[in-house]
Structure 1
Amino acid sequence: MTARVRCAACDRPLGRRGRPCVRGCGARLCTARHTPRCNDLHGGQCPRLDLPEET
Structure 2
Amino acid sequence: MEIDHHTLVGFAKSFGLFYLLAMAAAAIIYACWPANRARFDKAARDIIDDEDTPWR
TM-score, length of structure 1 as denominator length: 0.30
Structure having the higher strand fraction is 1
* Larger Rg belongs to: 2
Structure (1 or 2) with the greater helix fraction: 2
Greater RCO (CA < 8 Å, at least 6 residues apart): 1
